[in-house]
Amino acid sequence: MKIKAPNTALPTLPLYTEEELILGIRNKDQVMFGYLYDHYCGSLFGIIRRIVPEEESAEDILQEAFVKIWNNIGSYDAGKGRLFTWMVNLTRNLSIDHTRSKLYKTGLKNQGLSNSVNKINRQQSVAQNTDQIGLKTVVEKLKPGYKELIDLLYFGGYTQDEVAKELNMPLGTVKTRTRAALQQLRELMK
Amino acid sequence: MNIEAYQASGILERYTLGLSTPEENWEVESLAALHPALRSALDSLSDALETYAKAHALAPPARVKDALFKAIHETETNSIHPTERGRIIPLNRKSATEAVAMPFMTYAAAAATILLLASAGLNLLLYKSWKAAEQNLALVDTEKSRVAGRMEVQKASYVQALKDLNILKNPELVKMELKGAALAPYAKAMVYCNFKTNEIFLDVRALPAPPDSMQYQFWAIVKGKPIDAGMIDLCKPTDTCGIHPMNPVADAHAFAISLERKGGCVQPEGQIYASFGI
Query: What is the span of the domain harbouring residue B60?
Result: 3-99
For residue B49, which residues of chain A lie inside 8 Å, CB to CB? 85, 88, 154, 182, 185
User: Who among B49, B57, B95 is closest to A42 (CB)?
Assistant: B57
Kindly list the residues from chain A whose CB atom is less than 8 angstroms away from the CB atom of residue B13: 178-179, 182-183
pLDDT of residue A112 exceeding 60, the answer is: no
What gap in Å lies between CA A142 and CA A136, rounded to an integer?
10
B19 — contact with chain A (CB < 8 Å)? yes
Q: Which of A76, A93, A127 lies at the terminal end of a domain, its last residue?
A: A127
| Residues A139, A63 within the same domain | no
Strand, coil or helix: B28:
helix
pLDDT band for position A62 (cuts 50, 70, 90): very high
Number of domains in chain B: 3
Residue of A nearest to B44 (CA): A186
Measure CB to CB from residue A57 to each of B57, B60, B95 and give the nearest one: B95
The answer to whether B231 touches B264, Cβ cutoff 8 Å, is yes
The burial of B229, by beta-carbon neighbours within 10 Å (0-12 exposed, 13-18 middle, 19 or more buried), is given as: buried
More confidently predicted of A9 and B2 = B2
Which of B70, B99, B128 corresponds to the end of one domain?
B99
Give the pLDDT of residue A139. Answer: 79
Query: Cβ–Cβ of B18/A136 closer than 8 Å?
Result: no
Residues A128-170 pLDDT 10s? 455 666 777 777 888 888 988 988 888 877 889 999 998 899 9
Question: Chain A closest CA to B1's CA: distance in Å?
Answer: 20
* Domain stops at, among B169, B195, B216: B169
pLDDT score, position A106: 61
CATH of the domain at A176: 1.10.10.10
A85:B46 CB<8 A: yes
Do B155 and B179 belong to one domain? no
Domain that residue A24 falls in? 1-127
Last residue of a domain, one of A127, A157, A175: A127
Same domain, A18 and A72: yes
- B206 and B269 inside one domain: yes
Contact between A80 and B29 using a beta-carbon 8 Å cutoff: yes
User: What is the sign, positive or negative, of the torsion defined by CA atoms of A141, A146, A149, A154?
Assistant: negative
Same domain flag for B58 and B43? yes
Whether A29 and A78 map to the same domain: the answer is yes
CB contact under 8 A, A59 and B98: no
Model pLDDT, residue B79: 55
Q: Give the number of domains in chain A.
A: 2
Partners of residue B90 in chain A, C-beta under 8 Å = 60
Is B8 found in the same domain as B93? yes
Q: What is the pLDDT of residue A188?
A: 85
Distance CA(A106)–CA(B38), nearest Å, equals: 43
Q: In this structure, are residues A75 and B89 in contact, taking their beta carbons and an 8 Å threshold?
A: no
Please indicate, yes or no, whether residues A45 and A6 belong to a single structural domain of this protein: yes
Residue A114 has pLDDT above 50, yes or no: no
DSSP state of B215: E
Q: Under an 8 A CB cutoff, do B61 and A59 touch?
A: yes
Give the residues of chain B that fall short of pLDDT 70.
Answer: 1, 78-103, 236-240
- The predicted structure's pLDDT at residue B134: 86
- Phi and psi for B223 in degrees, rounded to 5? 50, 45
A86 and A17 within one domain = yes
Residue A6 Cα, gap to closest chain B Cα (Å): 9
Is the distance from CB of A91 to CB of B119 less than 8 angstroms? no
Residue B9, pLDDT score? 86
The residue of chain A with its CA nearest to that of B96 is A60
pLDDT at A6: 43
Q: List residues bridging with B256 in a β-sheet.
A: B219, B275
Residue contact B54–A155, C-beta within 8 A: no
Contacts (Cβ under 8 Å, ≥6 apart) of B48: A182, A185, A186, A188, A189
Distance from CA of B86 to the nearest CA of A (A): 6
Mean pLDDT of chain B: 84
Mark whether A80 and A156 lie in a shared domain: no
The HSE-up count of residue B133 (CA atoms within 13 Å, CB side) is 6
The distance of A189 to chain B (nearest Cα, Å) reads 6
* Residue A158 sits in the same domain as residue A175: yes
Does A137 lie in the same domain as A119? no
In this structure, the answer to whether residues A12 and A102 fall within a common structural domain is yes
Indicate which CATH number applies to the domain containing A33. 1.10.1740.10
What is the ipTM for the molecules in this complex? Answer: 0.78
Q: Has residue A97 got a pLDDT over 50?
A: yes
- Check pLDDT > 80 for residue A61: yes
Question: Cα separation of B177 and A13, whole Å?
Answer: 118
- Beta carbons of B247 and B146 less than 8 angstroms apart: no
Residue ending a domain, choose from B145, B169, B193: B169
Q: Are residues A150 and A123 in the same domain?
A: no
Do the Cβ atoms of B58 and A28 come within 8 Å?
no
8 Å CB contact of A186 and B76? no
Q: In what order do the strands lie in the sheet with B214-222?
A: B225-232, B214-222, B254-261, B272-276, B173-180, B188-194, B199-206, B244-245
Dihedral of CA atoms B146, B150, B153, B156 in degrees, nearest 10, equals: -120
